Structure 1
Amino acid sequence: MFKKKYLVLLGLVAFTGLFVGCGKNNMEIKDYHTDILGENVYIFTPEDEQTKIQETLDRIYSVQETAQFEDNRYAVYFMPGTYNVSADVGFYTQLSGLGVLPTDTKIAAANTYARWLSNPQNLHNATCNFWRSIENIEMQSDTVWAVSQATDMRRVQVDGNLTLHDDYGWASGGFLADSKVTGLVDSGTQQQWLSRNNSYSSWTGQNWNIVMLGDAPLGVPDKTWPEASYTAVSQTPIIREKPFLVYDEKDGLGVFVPEWKEESMSFAWEGDAPEGKVLPLNDFYVAKENVDSAKSINEALTDGKNVLFTPGIYELDEALKVQKSGTILLGMGLATLRSAAGNECVVSENADDLILAGLLFDAGTAESENLVCLGAKEGAKPSLIADVYFRVGGIASDEPCKTKACITIDLDNVVGDNLWVWRADHGDNVGWDLNTCENGIIINGDHVTMYALMVEHFNGYQTMWNGNAGTCIMYQSEVPYDVPDRGQWINPDGKRFGYASFKVAEDVSSFNAAGLGIYLYNRDNTIPMYCAMEVPDVEGVHVHNAITAYLNGFPGMKCVINEAGDSLLSAGQTAKVLDYENGQWR
């Protein structure tokens, strides 16, 4: 059990209404907040009154349950110990433990349900349960995590079963990584899911595209495509787990940065801390909403600081310029960086070994070239992009939001781990000629690896992959609903209607992908889409387990990959290609 005297060593952690002092770090701390992290960060301790903690958790959820496009952001942390509380996790909320191990911090339950979004079928609809996170904590009961894109459950232990839907209602997720589930995982009606480096007793439920990457073999289903919708990849080629906030009795708060792993399997923390290092908080510039500007953050970057973004929305009138290799940009509570003057939000120049994690990027009303651009560097060391999300439109604004592309990666050796790149299909100022963006993600770097890449509704290609030696494991995409007529959606070759979702450039000689789901909903007009994926017909380009689904609306789709695969002619149909290479397929 932590003692109160240890919790004030750096003046960082609090008890409700208690004045505490310890040498030069004397400070008054109230209502579970700290001066250094601000009012949108809550830190609870085992010695706090449990009913008061529960009341606070319930109050946050009452505000955030339906707050799909609202501005509040919250990060909720628990000091190591045991808590008899149950947390429901709503929009823009991060729930985390502060121990080195997930099992250091135990709570009775943590769940996300899908009861707020009505629909004609009266199903519990989780298809809009975006933008939330549970990390580094043990839940001591069965857990419901009914979510869709732009969510993460990382580095947790579930004592019991994990259910990824709410009573078999609609769901379109999602991502689970570096975790242990003592019981089974039930994905139920989930359209797709990536499970990476996890352990569970068994897995039940399948729909279109469930991918197990580097999971412990015991629980992975025996059946795979075409008998079932499971794609199993035995080892994760390369990964660095996302950094996370920790507390130490001697040194106070810091950020644990795990090391890179190659060919890994299962979670990395059974009884011991994973390989890595703790960076002290004074290595970070702690940014706050309504206090910091692009200017103040850029000054910190110039001084060699990493940046920890506390929960909030940061209106940036110029790009944050990352020029130092090894820089970390880490968000708490879905911290949101928004373009305010037609500028990019983050640009790196001749820098590698970067970490961008836990951030939501918003397009602004003045069109920008990109929201994020990672510039090239010769001989680049690996960089990580983890739980990073992009949004074009949907938010409340006087004019439509727009950008030409969300993220362009010129840097080699980048690893992406759970990205949702989204041109909004609902919300404010949404329409084909309103919230415009030609491409979601453009990858020019070589040796780029993407896990759980989800890209949706852009005006042209959703994903353009121009670099060599790339890997994509688990891809999800819906093409745009709102194309007004076929004349406005013609492939650049001028011969085909509709852009493929995933375009691998003709001069790419090596590329591998596994577990791809691409979905069609021609809501507004009959626009026969030619194919879901375009790749060069060469021996080094291999696609494994790709599925297309015709959801609803007007028909249809001719092929899955290039000329391969069956046509989709009526709603509810699917078509699969199990393997494609050099024009040969099955």
Structure 2
Amino acid sequence: MTAPSPAVRRRSGRTLLLALVLTTATTMTSTAASAGRPTHGAPDFGPNVTIFDPSMPVGEIQQTLDAAHARQVDNEMGTERHAYLFKPGTYGTAGQPLQAKVGYYTEVSGLGASPTDVTINGKLEVYNRCLADGGTGNCLALVNFWRTLSNLSLTVNAAGQDDCRSSANFWAVSQAVSMRRLNIGGGGLSLMDYCTAGPQYASGGFIADSRLPATTNGSQQQWLTRNSEVGGWSNAVWNQVFAGVEGAPDDAAFPDPPYTTLETTPLSREKPYLFVDGKGRYQVRVPAAQRDSRGVSWADGMTPGRTIGIDDFFVAKPSDSVRVINSQLARGKHLLLTPGTYDIARSIEVRRPGTVVLGIGHATLTAVNGAIPLDVAGVPGVIVAGVTIDAGLVESPVLLRVGRQHGHNASSPHNPTTLSDVYFRVGGPHIGRTNTALEVNSDNVLIDHTWVWRGDHGVEGFTEGVNGDSDRWRTNTGRYGAVINGDHVTATGLFVEHFQRYNTVWNGEHGTTILYQNELPYDPPTQADWMNGPVEGWAGYKVGDRVRHHTLYGGGVYVFNQNNPSIHTENGFEVPNRPGVRLHHIMTVNLSAGTIDHVVNGVGDAADMTKVGVPVYLARYPTP
């Protein structure tokens, strides 16, 4: 089956349609699924980790995963977290494939040293959610957030599915979802679910270190694929970016289609992963940083890097106090955060160079009493991966800080501090307040896929304004999304949305961003609420006035001022007009409310109501 042509994506009305579903979902509770038998030699990962081994009946595993999906498919704002881990071996057969769907706050990962050590014969999928007409209408993937698939081989087997569902392995997702270290064959991959009623919109996404078959992009408005191999790519919508990808499409015809392709990735480091070695011991592999890399890291054997035994980690559970966690870190332990939600009333302090903080199953840190949940010292080589950080009721100055703004920060270009799959939320499941979500003060930092989100919808019970937006503007306060003060900081996959001033401020020198996606806030009540001094609005991407060298590849700023469609924003991007500050393939787009008057620095046409869903592109800035 050929996927239909993608329609223009609009998010209007999304919050209203979700309200009943979200309110219902947050009342659900669940007990972690059991694999049915104990796993010999496994550390105590707590009740929210299920480990499968290939001796288990396929039907038993299928039943466990089906029950998990039933609990989590609509649980967007819930507190349940879970990881399903597969020990090395093969799962599913030609006649009895393992076909599972992945819901909210769910990680599905292999425990092999290589992705080829774990093989799933079957499918691992995410479908559209249908939010109207009794679950048959308004079908979309726009809010399919927070899930992970990694470190396994998938031999696509659609036995028993209907003609449309059998046409591909569907992965219809939006932000805060990663696919890493995958080896997919036997069938196609579709990032759009074209088997439901419309509108079928999707807003992803991120793939890294993976070997992929022919892939249908479909309605995905933006996507970053990094250090991978692809057997083909169907199309682009607004902003499809490839870095270090074998088989990536050529971008010479930009913006028709709107591809951005870099032959190599300037700086990369793959996310740490848990594995079981040949003697049954649990280990964490910590990949080394690479420069000017291309293709998968595991093509010639184990990914280059170092291995840390699980005994060198403090395996934390939500019941553990921050005092205990900090004591273990001070003693030289690394930190593994098991699935769950952690209330953080004082900072988790990472002070030692080379420390690894690895969350599994979307472990979530929630600020309490205005705390900074995670504070990383200005030391080299720290890695934070797989962690979500939520603002709390009392305003925090920042949710994750890397280095001190006016302190001494040591760093290494060969061993950069790295943030991988680190996500932020201000509002959504509960009221949240922060001045800044992410603040990077150290030099030589790599941000490899983040979603920094001030919620445009949630279950807080707001009523005033369109979909409660006036209440949201006053209550869920978040001024800045990402503030980058360090030099030589690289971001691969920087998604920042809905903050009340600058979504991203980049003050450091020699910064590089590869794919930037931003939506301006939906909820300013009036133009007076959305003023930067005499300037109408705050640019979605701001490079500091003193910066002399900065590079951006593939950036988009979107506007949907649903609470007051008359609001204007003067520029999508605002940067110093210097030859060393270069923007490649940037755009603005109107999602049916509000206006962005120019793309960058007064250049480019307006993204207004005459161009709904039609981007305004600039191939480069400064323009020739």
Q: Please, what TM-score do these two structures have when normalized by structure 1?
A: 0.91
Q: Secondary structure at the match of 2:473?
A: coil
Aligned residues, how many?
549
Is 1:548 aligned to residue 588 of structure 2? yes
The answer as to whether partners of 2:336 and 2:360 remain within 8 angstroms in 1 is yes
Spell out, residue by residue over 1:456-480, the C-alpha distance to the aligned partner (whole angstroms, 9 max, x if none).
0011000010000000010000000
Q: Following superposition of structure 1 onto structure 2, how do residues 304-323 of structure 1 map, counting pairs within 5 Å?
A: 304-323=332-351
Is 1:497 aligned to residue 536 of structure 2? yes
More deviation in 372-381 or 55-64? 372-381
Aligned to 2:193: 166
- Taking a change above 3 Å as real, the CA distance of residues 223 and 314 of structure 1, as seen in their structure-2 partners, is same
Aligned to 2:147: 132
Q: Secondary structure at the match of 2:546?
A: coil
Letter in 2 for 1:89: V
Is 1:110 aligned to residue 136 of structure 2? no
- Taking a change above 3 Å as real, the CA distance of residues 224 and 123 of structure 1, as seen in their structure-2 partners, is farther
Which of 59, 65, 71 is residue 63 of structure 1 equivalent to? Answer: 71
Q: Following superposition of structure 1 onto structure 2, how do residues 233-312 of structure 1 map, counting pairs within 5 Å?
A: 233-250=262-279, 252-289=281-318, 291-312=319-340
Q: Following superposition of structure 1 onto structure 2, how do residues 3-42 of structure 1 map, counting pairs within 5 Å?
A: 16-17=36-37, 36-42=44-50
Aligned to 2:559: 520
- Taking a change above 3 Å as real, the CA distance of residues 507 and 17 of structure 1, as seen in their structure-2 partners, is closer
Aligned to 1:426: 457
Using the alignment, how far apart are the partners of 1:534 and 1:550 within structure 2?
18
Q: Secondary structure at the match of 2:474?
A: coil
Aligned to 1:448: 489
The answer as to whether partners of 1:66 and 1:116 remain within 8 angstroms in 2 is no
The answer as to whether partners of 2:130 and 2:137 remain within 8 angstroms in 1 is no
Note the C-alpha offset of 1:219.
4.2
Spell out, residue by residue over 1:368-424, the C-alpha distance to the aligned partner (whole angstroms, 9 max, x if none).
1000111155440211100000000111x4xx2111110100010100111000000
- Taking a change above 3 Å as real, the CA distance of residues 136 and 407 of structure 1, as seen in their structure-2 partners, is same
The answer as to whether partners of 2:251 and 2:260 remain within 8 angstroms in 1 is no
Which of 80, 83, 97 is residue 91 of structure 2 equivalent to? Answer: 83
Letter in 2 for 1:115: R
- Taking a change above 3 Å as real, the CA distance of residues 524 and 43 of structure 1, as seen in their structure-2 partners, is same
The answer as to whether partners of 1:203 and 1:221 remain within 8 angstroms in 2 is no
Aligned to 2:520: 479
Aligned to 1:457: 498
Using the alignment, how far apart are the partners of 1:117 and 1:331 within structure 2?
31
Note the C-alpha offset of 1:224.
3.8
Note the C-alpha offset of 1:259.
1.1
- Taking a change above 3 Å as real, the CA distance of residues 38 and 528 of structure 1, as seen in their structure-2 partners, is same
Is 1:383 aligned to residue 417 of structure 2? yes
The answer as to whether partners of 1:322 and 1:351 remain within 8 angstroms in 2 is no
The answer as to whether partners of 1:143 and 1:158 remain within 8 angstroms in 2 is no
- Taking a change above 3 Å as real, the CA distance of residues 249 and 490 of structure 1, as seen in their structure-2 partners, is same
Q: Secondary structure at the match of 2:275?
A: strand
| Structure 2 unpaired stretches of 5+ | 1-33, 93-97, 157-167, 463-471
Using the alignment, how far apart are the partners of 1:313 and 1:415 within structure 2?
26
Using the alignment, how far apart are the partners of 1:112 and 1:233 within structure 2?
29
The answer as to whether partners of 1:225 and 1:578 remain within 8 angstroms in 2 is yes
Note the C-alpha offset of 1:223.
5.0
Q: Secondary structure at the match of 1:295?
A: helix
Which of 196, 199, 217 is residue 229 of structure 2 equivalent to? Answer: 199
Note the C-alpha offset of 1:91.
0.3
Aligned to 2:428: 394
Note the C-alpha offset of 1:198.
1.1
Spell out, residue by residue over 1:204-247, the C-alpha distance to the aligned partner (whole angstroms, 9 max, x if none).
1211000011101x342465412211000110011110000000
**Higher RCO (C-alpha 8 Å, min separation 6):** 2
Using the alignment, how far apart are the partners of 1:278 and 1:18 within structure 2?
26
Which of 389, 392, 399 is residue 371 of structure 1 equivalent to? Answer: 399
Using the alignment, how far apart are the partners of 1:298 and 1:60 within structure 2?
33
Q: Secondary structure at the match of 1:364?
A: coil
Aligned to 2:52: 44
The answer as to whether partners of 1:385 and 1:416 remain within 8 angstroms in 2 is yes
Is 1:532 aligned to residue 552 of structure 2? no
Spell out, residue by residue over 1:289-345, the C-alpha distance to the aligned partner (whole angstroms, 9 max, x if none).
2x2011111111111111000000010110011110111110000000110121001
Aligned to 2:170: 144
Using the alignment, how far apart are the partners of 1:438 and 1:219 within structure 2?
37
Spell out, residue by residue over 1:531-577, the C-alpha distance to the aligned partner (whole angstroms, 9 max, x if none).
10100011110000001000112x31210001111112213332111
Aligned to 1:3: none
- Taking a change above 3 Å as real, the CA distance of residues 105 and 19 of structure 1, as seen in their structure-2 partners, is closer
- Taking a change above 3 Å as real, the CA distance of residues 49 and 251 of structure 1, as seen in their structure-2 partners, is closer
Aligned to 2:30: none
Q: Please, what TM-score do these two structures have when normalized by structure 2?
A: 0.86
Query: What percentage of residue pairs aligned between the two structures are identical?
Result: 38
- Taking a change above 3 Å as real, the CA distance of residues 279 and 60 of structure 1, as seen in their structure-2 partners, is same
Aligned to 2:364: 336
- Taking a change above 3 Å as real, the CA distance of residues 458 and 378 of structure 1, as seen in their structure-2 partners, is closer
